[in-house]
Structure 1
Amino acid sequence: MIKHTTFTLERDFPVPPAEVFARWADPQSKATWFAGPKAEHELDFRVGGTEIAKGVNGEGEQLAFEGVYREIVPGERIVYSGVLSVGDTVATVSQTTVQFEASSTGTRLLLTEQGAFLDGHEEPEWRQTGCGSQLDALEKLISDAG
C-alpha cells in the first residue's frame, strides 16, 4: 500500500530571508528546531551533503530521517530528498522544497513536500503536522532571538 501526497505550508517571519535561511544552514540552529533536544542530529549543508536525525517515537520505536541536499540557492531556496525509517523499515520517501521570499514584513517561507507513504508506517497527516511543528519551533527560535 502506497499513499502519495503533496502539501504546502506557509509561514511569515519578521526578519529578512537571509536570516531565516541561516537557521536552516547552521547545524546548531537546525538541530534545535528540527530535531529537538532528545534526538541525534548531523548536518552537512551543501549540495550533495546529508542530514541525519535519529530519535524515538511515542511507541518507543527508533526513527531515522536521512536527507540529501539536491539544490541550495542561498537566501532563496533549498531542495532535498529524504527517507524516514521506523527501525529497519522504510516508512516514507519524500522530496521537499523550501522557498524564502522577501515580503513587506520580512520573509514568506513556503515549504512543499511530495511524499510516498509506505504500508501505513507513516500517514501524510502525521508528516504535515510534524513539519508544521518544526516550523513553529523555528518561529519561536527566531522570536526568542530578536
Structure 2
Amino acid sequence: MTSMHPAEHATFTLERLYDVPPSEVFAAWADPATKARWFASPGAEHSLDFRVGGIETTRGGPDPDVPFVFTSTYEEIQPGARLVYSSTLAGRVATVSLTCVEIAERGSGSALVLTEHGIFLDHLEESAWREQGTAEWLDRLQTVLG
C-alpha cells in the first residue's frame, strides 16, 4: 500500500541555559515526579522507567476520547551529561523520532542542547508543532528548576 502523503523528515536543535549545575538539570529528567511536573500536560498520565531500555509514556491530550500516546525508550544515559531516546507519537503512528539531550557546565550553571531527528507521517503531526511543543517543555523545565 502506498501512502498518499510522503513522510516528512526534519531535524531541530534547541538550546537553553539554566542557573543550576548539570546534576540538577539531569535530575529533573531522571526523577519521575519532577519530570511529570514539566513534561506532562495537566491531566495527562505519565510514567517513567529511567534506565537504558526503560520506557517513558505520556497519555493525554485535548480530547479524552482520543488520547495522544507518546512513548520513549531510553537508548543511552550518561549521568549528568547525556540522554538518547527514541520515541513514537501514536494512536495511529504519527511520528517516530530520535532525540539527544546534552547537558554541560556553563559558568555557574548549565547549557542544555536538545537535538531531535523526526519522521512525520501522513500530516498527522508536523515538525514545527513538535519543535514548538519541545521548546515549551524546556521553558517549563526552567520554572521547575527555579
Q: Which residue is 1:116 aligned to?
A: 119
The one-letter amino acid of 1:95's match is: L
Give yes or no for the alignment of 1:128 onto 2:131.
Answer: yes
Q: Which residue is 1:34 aligned to?
A: 39
Structure 2 contact 23–80 (Cα < 8 Å) conserved? yes
Q: Which residue is 2:18 aligned to?
A: 13
How far apart, CA to CA, are the structure 2 residues paired with 1:23 and 1:109?
A: 12
Equivalent runs, 1:83-98 vs 2, <5 Å: 83-85=88-90, 87=91, 89-98=92-101
Indicate the percent of aligned positions where both proteins have the same amino acid: 51
1:22 to 21, 27, 30: 27
TM-score, structure 2 length as denominator?
Answer: 0.93
In the superposition, relative to structure 1, how do residues 60 and 120 fare at CA in structure 2: closer, same or farther (>3 Å)?
farther
Q: Deviations over 1:96-137 (max 9, x none)?
A: 000001001400000000000000000000000000000010
What's the C-alpha RMSD, in Å, of the aligned pairs? 1.3
Structure 1 contact 13–105 (Cα < 8 Å) conserved? no
Task: For residue 16 of structure 2, give the secondary structure of its aligned residue in structure 1.
Answer: strand
Deviation at 1:57, TM superposition (A): 3.2
Task: For residue 42 of structure 2, give the secondary structure of its aligned residue in structure 1.
Answer: coil
The one-letter amino acid of 2:11's match is: T
Task: For residue 112 of structure 2, give the secondary structure of its aligned residue in structure 1.
Answer: strand
How far apart, CA to CA, are the structure 2 residues paired with 1:47 and 1:119?
A: 30
TM-score, structure 1 length as denominator?
Answer: 0.93
Structure 1 contact 101–109 (Cα < 8 Å) conserved? yes
- The count of residues paired between Structure 1 and Structure 2 equals 141
Structure 1 contact 14–106 (Cα < 8 Å) conserved? yes
Structure 1 residue runs of 5 or longer lacking an equivalent are none
Structure 2 contact 41–60 (Cα < 8 Å) conserved? no
Structure 1 contact 16–106 (Cα < 8 Å) conserved? yes
How far apart, CA to CA, are the structure 2 residues paired with 1:37 and 1:121?
A: 22
1:47 to 27, 48, 52: 52
Structure 2 contact 69–89 (Cα < 8 Å) conserved? yes
Structure 2 contact 41–61 (Cα < 8 Å) conserved? no
Deviation at 1:59, TM superposition (A): 9.3
Task: For residue 52 of structure 1, give the secondary structure of its aligned residue in structure 2.
Answer: strand
